[in-house]
Structure 1
């Protein structure tokens, strides 16, 4: 997990570095990625790797992680089920970085669907952060 003495400047990750850092992406974190497809934003992926100072792990990774990067689109299935599955791989204090398509995309996920899935999984969502054509939210367990 990251510490207060993080050395990576979020601007090193380009214009996406600051919003991703605000979401909680930090040096030393292990980040696993779910929902990768040809429509993901490669700049977002690269910025996360820069901030975390390491590669994104793929779905075959079987260790514990600090961050679950979840690309989710309308029609991908049951979001609550996917969030519950994601929670099983997270270190205590970790979070889910949920990325959903922005408002101009036809596969956009309605805000109430995210809220409902979070309620089902006892998660709290932070405010939405624009990340290119995607919107990011930090999901954490309720205290």
Structure 2
């Protein structure tokens, strides 16, 4: 149970969210982010998994870039909830997210796990990806409360 940014562990002790649960190394590895990469983040909110965010920053050695970042990026994480917007809006977010994406970069759409409040069905993410010209390649649990779907954009043709 959470109250004022505090959580209770399984023994009922009060702890902060950064002490409560550390990001799963296997989940972090499945994201595929490596040292030196620039990862841009969209739709962060207070329910985002701060341990996962910190682990991404530690593995890349870079702070997560915010939505206003305009440089070339190697990857994207989008915290997406059913109440963020309609599916058509996810298409717009995917297009915005992939605008500065380097060839070979990936987009991860992270949503609350199945059965949780604001869960987004994987088929909704897959449909939005197709409309945005992207392909879903895998899905995994990235933390205790968040599932991720990996999307890739087609390689741009040189002119």
User: Which of 17, 32, 41 pairs up with 2:40?
Assistant: 32
1:46 aligns with 2:54: yes
User: Structure 1 length as normaliser, TM-score?
Assistant: 0.83
1:20 aligns with 2:28: yes
Matching residue of 1:132:
144
Question: Any unmatched runs of 5+ in structure 2?
Answer: 1-21
Q: What is the Cα deviation at residue 114 of structure 1?
A: 0.8
Q: What is the Cα deviation at residue 115 of structure 1?
A: 1.3
1:96 aligns with 2:104: no
Structure whose alpha-carbon radius of gyration is higher: 2
Runs of 4+ aligned structure 1 residues displaced above 4 Å come to none
SS of 1:19's equivalent in the other structure is helix
Contact 2:23–2:51, Cα closer than 8 Å, also in 1 = no
Matching residue of 2:133:
122
Matching residue of 2:7:
none
Aligned residues: 130
Q: What is the Cα deviation at residue 104 of structure 1?
A: 2.9
Q: What is the Cα deviation at residue 20 of structure 1?
A: 2.1
Contact 2:23–2:52, Cα closer than 8 Å, also in 1 = no
